[in-house]
Amino acid sequence: MSSTPLRHDGRRPDQLRPVTFEPNIAPYATGSVLVSFGLTRVICAATIEPNVPTWMKQQKVPGGWLTAEYSMLPYSTLDRKPRDISRGKIDGRTVEIQRLIGRSLRAVVDLQKLGQNTLWVDCDVLQADGGTRTAAITGAYLAARLAVQKLLDARKLPENPIADSVAAVSVGSCGGRELLDLAYTEDRDAEVDFNLVMTGRGQFVEVQASGEEATFSQEQLNRLVTLGQQGLKELTALQAAFLARQLL
């Protein structure tokens, strides 16, 4: 391993960026976390409202609902990114990512046990250096878990509706090397780009894979998934350690 060339930021190919979680970054949210994957920083805030969407009431759908919103703040990128409201519409990438965040969390939340509540998850990118969607999912789970704990402590929920943890990470092939947790320059230049979302018990929620002007073999696919699983085990352990400190 010592003979393997290091990446531009000094990491090994199979090494995550430094990952940190800072709780209570948004005091008016029910639960919130500032998640950092290296230079990528995302505020994840969960708010629980004692109501459900109109469509659920009209269709008499039992239980609660969970939905997510995602945005990149104008100053999060090197060149200013205009707000969606200034263009009069949400761009396709934003829609895709917020749907992914919502799907990822709903995979581990029992909406029946959530009761007649809506769990809103807002993910706002403060600084983008690759992997904003994976950082958002990883932090959103923590924000949701903190929010749910407040309702459990207040006896507003009889049992925890969150059945498992969920985290996400990127992997890819860049310059002929298979890399874990791509920073922006690696993501930009990658020949093959993957995003993996998995539960703490090791079940896949989503695998997004694409060849950027390239193709990939079954063997490459297997190696990249294995590399991603390795990183996700580390992220799951970091999430568990964070929650152990917060939920004493």
Residues of the chain above pLDDT 70, percent: 97
Q: Residue 3 — pLDDT band, cuts 50, 70, 90? A: low
The alpha carbon of 36 is separated from its chain's Cα centroid by a whole number of angstroms, namely 11
Mean pLDDT along residues 218-234: 96
1 or 93, higher pLDDT: 93
CATH, domain range 19-246: 3.30.230.70
* pTM greater than the 0.75 cutoff: yes
Q: Give pLDDT tens digits for 193-206.
A: 999 999 999 999 99
Domain boundaries, the chain: 19-246
Q: What is the pLDDT of residues 15-68, one digit of tens each?
A: 999 999 999 999 999 999 999 999 999 999 999 999 999 999 999 999 999 999
Q: Where are the beta strands (DSSP E) in 161-211?
A: 166-174, 177-180, 192-199, 204-211
Collapsing DSSP states into helix, strand and coil, what is residue 97? helix
pLDDT, residue 2, reads 46
What's the CA gap between 199 and 194, in Å, rounded?
A: 17
